[in-house]
Amino acid sequence: MLKERIFEEIDRQKERLCEMADTIFDHPECDGEEMMAADLLCGYLAENGFSVERPIAGLKSAFRAMYHSVGNGAEGSGRMAEPPAGPAEPPAGPAEPPAGLAANPGGPAEPPAGLAANPSGPAPRIGLLCEYDALAGLGHGCGHHMQGPACLGAAVALKNCCRDRAFTLVVYGTPAEETFGGKINMMEAGYLKDIDVALMMHGGPDTCTDIRCLALSSFDVTFYGKKAHAAIMPEEGRSAFDALLLAFQGVEFLREHVRDDVRMHYTVKTLPGPENVVPSEAVGSFALRSFSRDYLDQVAERFRDIVRGAALMAGVTCEIAEKPALANKVPNLTLNDLLVENARLAGAPGITPPRERTGSTDFGNVMHELPGSCIRVKFVPSGTSSHSKDYVEAGKTEAAHSCVIYGAKAMAGASLDMLTDCKIMESIKREFAEKRELYR
């Protein structure tokens, strides 16, 4: 059976894959500076016949590695039949407005890329996405060191075992998930749109998928007032900190009049100074989340009014700096089931129903535009929270090494199912088209 051969081919690579995971773990890199990890992963892909492009999308640690199988049993090539110039599917029309897309991913200007880019083409294009960034001060507390090796194991096994099928494999290296969200930049530059489906794996306390994730809008707000001695000349002062407190209060009142799924949190970013001086500058950070990007855009507009209103009340001015926005996932249960079934077939431990509580991720921006799914694979005890010392302590254990292999097998098995039965790919695309309208 072909799937067994693919699983064996993944097992054959285990030592190299786990070595890579350990090396990435031992040299944690963050925030788009993941050069060693990208070197390591790209080296293995090139060695195994993938054509590697790097850097891409203006990110030095981002890469795209491709393999095109012609399907006649012959050795395929790292090149597409018609090599794409730059991004395989450049954004239609003029350059995309970066701010517009960031503020409103999946807005009307953007066609449903995954589908539009490859209308029921005969050769499926499977995307495997990996992250490899760590957390500053903590190391690999989110388990991202396992993702690259898992994708590589799956990609090389599919390439070596499926020469009688026509398909394209694209492995994307996506930097800085924890900070600025490299996938956002990559999508804006036209990448991640040359694939029919996007698959990921992620270590976790249970083996499961997610049905949804929260869209996120985050802001740094600076208020500018007028400094004065708080005891001698208070009437001359205009307090930037008063405005910040009023903005916090405004968010509390807003909280009552939004949908249940909206989350809003804030903190003081820059402290304004001693209590006997009316502060002339205060900076706060705010995050707003919802399962709907469209709805969150409306909440964000009301939030901006609150900030402007707070400035007006305090007699100060304000500056609102919005960070790149994250979109919610359009869930794809067909793809979820396919990954979980294959994880089960591979023997992954601790399979549970999809997670109820989820955060925000730049993979949401990808899954807002094309069918995708991430299989989370158990390597720590149930209930363990990510971004923790527990994750770091488990990073090089036998459970972590097995997690790489289970993740690789789940993604490779699901990919093989899609290559074998074109009805599966059709139903994945159909589900995406239907759900896209419901989960905007």
Give the whole-angstrom CA distance, residue 211 versus residue 367.
11
Give the whole-angstrom CA distance, residue 122 versus residue 426.
11
Contacts of 12 (CB under 8 A, 6+ apart): none
**Cβ proximity of 371 and 431 under 8 Å:** yes
299 binds Zn ion (CB under 5 A): no
Structure tokens at 66: 């491709």
Give the whole-angstrom CA distance, residue 124 versus residue 70.
11
Contacts of 402 (CB under 8 A, 6+ apart): 379
Which is nearest to 154 in space by CA: 419, 425, 366, 396? 419
The C-alpha angle with vertex 375 and arms to 122 and 7, in degrees rounded to 5, equals 70
The C-alpha angle with vertex 273 and arms to 270 and 276, in degrees rounded to 5, equals 155
Residue 96 DSSP class:
P
366 binds Zn ion (CB under 5 A): no
Q: Closest separation between CB of residue 177 and Zn ion, Å?
A: 6
Which is nearest to 303 in space by CA: 327, 324, 285, 326? 285
Q: Which of residues 175-194 bind Zn ion (CB under 5 A)?
A: none
Q: Which of residues 126-165 bind Zn ion (CB under 5 A)?
A: 142
Q: Closest separation between CB of residue 101 and Zn ion, Å?
A: 23
Which C-beta is closer to Zn ion: that of 119 or that of 137? 137
Binding residues with Zn ion: total (CB under 5 A): 1
Which C-beta is closer to Zn ion: that of 286 or that of 363? 363
Strands, DSSP E only, in 291-371?
317-322
State CA 234 to chain mean position distance.
48
200 binds Zn ion (CB under 5 A): no
Q: Closest separation between CB of residue 262 and Zn ion, Å?
A: 22
Give the whole-angstrom CA distance, residue 67 versus residue 376.
25
**Cβ proximity of 182 and 174 under 8 Å:** yes
Q: Are strands 125-130 and 166-173 parallel, antiparallel or unpaired?
A: parallel
Which is nearest to 130 in space by CA: 421, 404, 323, 428? 404
Which C-beta is closer to Zn ion: that of 142 or that of 339? 142
Which C-beta is closer to Zn ion: that of 142 or that of 146? 142
Which C-beta is closer to Zn ion: that of 205 or that of 250? 205
Which C-beta is closer to Zn ion: that of 142 or that of 410? 142
Which C-beta is closer to Zn ion: that of 142 or that of 425? 142
Q: Closest separation between CB of residue 133 and Zn ion, Å?
A: 9
Q: Closest separation between CB of residue 104 and Zn ion, Å?
A: 24
Structure tokens at 366: 């990808």
Q: Closest separation between CB of residue 391 and Zn ion, Å?
A: 9
Residues belonging to the chain: 440
327 binds Zn ion (CB under 5 A): no
- Crossing angle of the two packed helices 147-161 and 14-26, in degrees rounded to 10: 160
Q: Closest separation between CB of residue 171 and Zn ion, Å?
A: 18
Which C-beta is closer to Zn ion: that of 192 or that of 258? 192
Q: Closest separation between CB of residue 326 and Zn ion, Å?
A: 13
Which C-beta is closer to Zn ion: that of 142 or that of 316? 142
42 binds Zn ion (CB under 5 A): no
Which C-beta is closer to Zn ion: that of 142 or that of 251? 142
Q: Closest separation between CB of residue 339 and Zn ion, Å?
A: 17
374 binds Zn ion (CB under 5 A): no
**171: helix, coil or strand?**
strand
Which C-beta is closer to Zn ion: that of 142 or that of 310? 142
Q: Closest separation between CB of residue 410 and Zn ion, Å?
A: 17
Closest CB to Zn ion: residue number:
142
Q: Are strands 281-290 and 215-224 parallel, antiparallel or unpaired?
A: antiparallel
Give the whole-angstrom CA distance, residue 408 versus residue 157.
9
Q: Closest separation between CB of residue 138 and Zn ion, Å?
A: 10
46, containing H or E segment: helix 35-47
Q: Closest separation between CB of residue 144 and Zn ion, Å?
A: 6
Which is nearest to 369 in space by CA: 215, 187, 199, 169? 187
Which C-beta is closer to Zn ion: that of 87 or that of 127? 127
Give the interface with Zn ion as residue ranges (CB under 5 A): 142
